[in-house]
Each structure stands twice: as C-alpha cells, then as structure tokens.
Structure 1
Amino acid sequence: MPILLFFVGHWYLSLFVQTFYLHRYAAHKMYTMNRFWERFFFLLTYLAQGSSYLSPRAYALLHRMHHAYSDTDKDPHSPHFSSNAFTMMWKTKNIYNSVLNDEYELAKRFEGDYPTWNALERIGDHWMSRIGWGAAYVGFYVAFVPATMWYLYLLLPFHFLMGPVHGAIVNWSGHKYGYQNFDNNDKSRNSLFFDFLTGGELFQNNHHKLPMRVNFGVKWWELDPTYPVIWTLDKLSVIKIKREKSAKEPVPLAA
C-alpha cells in the first residue's frame, strides 16, 4: 500500500505542477499571481518533479513553439515526425536542452513573460540533484517493497522520468488518437472525455483552438479535473484568472 500511495501521489502532484504551473501559467499566462505564490509554485514544481525537473522557461518556449508550428516539421514534439513515442521523447529532450542553453534559434522569437528563478534552476538541472532525487525514490522502494513483490521496482523508471512521461502521453496520444471538436489545421485530438490520466491535458484539440481558455473541456460532458482547482485558487485570491473563455469562442463541429 505505501508504494501504491507514493506512486499515485507522485504521478498526480507532478502532473498538477506541469499543467497548472508550467503549461497554463508559464507558457500561456492564463492567470496572474503575486511574487510569493509564483515562487511557491516554482519550488513546488521542483519538489514534485524531482529527478525529472523541467525548467519553466524552457517548457514555456517549447510549448509556444508547439502551438506556432503544430504538427509541422518545426514542432518540437509532433508524433507525426517520429516513428514511436520513445524517439519523439529523445528528439524533444535534445531540443529542450538546446532551448535551455540558448542554442535553439527557433525558440528565440518566443522569449519573455515566464517565471524565472536562476538559483533554483541551477539546482534543479544539476546532475547531483537529479541523481539525489533518484536515489531517494530507490530508497523509498527498498524500505517498503516486500521481498515477494520485487516487480514493483519496475515502477521506478516512471518516477525518474515523471515529467517527460506525462509530456509523451499528451503529445503522442493527443495528436494521434481521439475525436475533434474543431478543425485546427493540425492533427490535435481529444483523447478522453474525462481526463483522469493527465489532468485535462488530453483535450488537445480544444486547447489548440482556444489556447487561453482555462477550462480545457468545451462540451458539457468533457471534464478537465484541473479546472475546479484553478477556479478555487482564483476564488481564494491565490491567482487571478485573466479570462475564462474567449470573447468570440468558435462553435464546435457537430457531433
């Protein structure tokens, strides 16, 4: 039971910071927050992602490129230019590192308006931090995995690469499998009607049409489980939503 709770907790906490902070805040600035809360969620992102920590700046730039060049050869992680999810992840990793080191020319037009914390960035991206977090995950498993359930150690790679695993699921499935509400001139899809797996991120077709809509669900039966959290944080004045939906929101295609 401790291993299951740890895995599920790590999965959803890491997922939350990725969709709430890296995606909806750093990349899109769908809402504002004061300096204290920006630093709080920045630190939470590092703690939640641990060995797979992703820089808010680099994430924002990659994601802005993804929207601008969706499913073209300039898209940093379109599944339609990779033979499988693993090669797509490797390609994305290489582009991410280039962006992180200011070596990727295509990303430079998207610079600005994202949270920065240079000291924490250096810690999060340092190999000692990544190995330290990985060792902590292994130590937890050693402490709580029964000898007869050795196969639970097969979950450890997911802990090591939690952030990229979430990204791979979203980018592979969200641009290959599912249905479309809108014709976006790309291959974005909505893969689930209740996105319990990636916290709303698998409503890719909706999001590509309405990139500033905080609620990724559009039809009444599409449930984005991160949105109620964002709505609550807005009511508590932790954040301030800029706009909940586009003023001229397009009508979805007929079902």
Structure 2
Amino acid sequence: MFTMSRGWEKFFYVGCFITQGSSYISAYTYGLMHRLHHAHTDKAGDPHSPHNEENAFLLMWLTRNNYKDLYTGKSTADDKYKKNLPQWTRFDKIAHSGWARLGWVMVYIVIYALLANAWWQWLVLPFTIAMGSLQGIIVNWWAHKFGYENFNLTDTSKNILPVDLIFWGEAYHNNHHRHPNRPNNATRWFEWDMGYQSMRVLDHFKVIKICR
C-alpha cells in the first residue's frame, strides 16, 4: 500500500511499542501472517479463520499459537510472502519479551491506581491488557461471520460496519479481500476509511509514499 524509509520504519516500530503496550506484536510477523490469511482464506493454511475454529475465544488462542510459531520460526512460509516486510529483529527481541509485557501491565496498574475512582473501573483492566487480542478477534472472527458484502467472493469476508469510526477502515473486510493491495478500503459513498485518510496526510508530508 505504501513505502517508507528505514528511519521512519524504525520510528513507527517504537510508536507501535508505545501504543500497543502489552499487546505488542512484531510488524514483520503480523505482515507475514496477514499475507498467509489472504493466500489461504478460510482454508487449512489460514492462520486465523473461524472456519478452522468456530469458537471465538479458541480461535483467538489458535491465532496466538500460529503467530508465535511464525515468530519463533517453528513454522515457515514461502519466501514470496516475506518480500518487503518491515523488520527490526533486535528491537523485537526487547519489545516482544515477556519482561516488556509485564512492564506495561505494571504501567497500566499505576495509571488505574491514579485515575480510577470506583472499584468497578478496575474490571476494565484485563481488557486494557488484552486489547490487541480483542481487536484482532473482532476483525478476524466477526468479519468472517456477520456483516454485509459489496463483492461476491469465494471467501466469507464481510464488512462489519457501514461507517467505520472505530477500526480505521479494517471494518471493510470484504472490500479489503476484493482489493487487498488498495490503500483505501472504502468503496461505497457512505464508507469512510480513516486509515487511508491518515495515509494521505503522511504521504503529503513525505513520511510515506502511497503506491498508486
């Protein structure tokens, strides 16, 4: 969808670590897993298809295991899926470590201790810790189960929200599967891809270059 310099790539690696926190995942490994999802959608080689596991929470665990196997090298993928993926191995070893995740959990606990003014607010803490996994299961499970279709495809991808103000364009999963390399996931007049609009801003300031 776009390219960027190695310097900006490292800048956004650090940005992902700060914003994802305890949910941090390797951009390289996630990109590889995402490409495998498109290549084998709803088939045995799909790393996170609800057709491989109907239960949403078991699918989340299956996705975690498939991701971990790709990250550690226990499972492999053809070289064609690895081309032009962002990679910073030394940084991943630190940001992806259990100690880093534990550190973020400690940070969250301190923030809750400072800001929570009722006991029930602490019930949100587990969701804060697992936010990345929860967002992933919404897109990877819900978007292959429920929603509307703009394109009649051979897979089960759906658009889960007509106006996406939450997932920055990822809600238009059916559109994305029809045009996987297109930066703008919105196709109909009422659809809005905030992720693409952000790309346009970054492209304007020459932080990235959108592939047209």
What range is the shorter-chain TM-score in?
A: over 0.9
Contact 2:169/2:193, CA 8 A, preserved across alignment: yes
Q: Which residue does the alignment assign to 1:58?
A: 29
Q: How does 1:181-200 map to 2 (within 5 A)?
A: 181-200=150-169
Aligned pair count? 212
Any idea what the Cα deviations from partners look like across 1:168-226, whole Å, max 9, x if unmatched? 11111111111111122000001111112211101010000101111110011111122
Contact 1:178/1:189, CA 8 A, preserved across alignment: yes
* Match of residue 67, structure 1, among 38, 48, 56: 38
Distance across 2 between alignment mates of 1:83 and 1:212? 28
Any idea what the Cα deviations from partners look like across 1:94-132, whole Å, max 9, x if unmatched? 011100011113466522311111221011111111000
Contact 2:21/2:104, CA 8 A, preserved across alignment: yes
Amino acid at match of 1:77: H
Distance across 2 between alignment mates of 1:44 and 1:62? 21
% identical equivalent positions:
41
TM-score for both structures, normalised by structure 1: 0.80
Q: Which residue does the alignment assign to 2:83?
A: 112
Q: Which residue does the alignment assign to 1:238?
A: 207
Q: Which residue does the alignment assign to 1:160?
A: 129
Amino acid at match of 1:35: R
Q: Which residue does the alignment assign to 1:79?
A: 50
> Secondary structure, in 3 states, of the residue corresponding to 1:81?
coil
* Match of residue 92, structure 2, among 121, 137, 145: 121
| 1:135 to partner: Cα distance | 0.7
5+ unaligned residues in a row in structure 2: which ranges?
none
Contact 1:62/1:107, CA 8 A, preserved across alignment: no
Q: Which residue does the alignment assign to 1:33?
A: 4
TM-score for both structures, normalised by structure 2: 0.96
Q: Which residue does the alignment assign to 2:147?
A: 178
- The runs of 4+ residues in structure 1 deviating greater than 2 Å are 105-109
* Match of residue 193, structure 2, among 224, 233, 254: 224
Q: Which residue does the alignment assign to 1:15?
A: none
5+ unaligned residues in a row in structure 1: which ranges?
1-29, 244-255
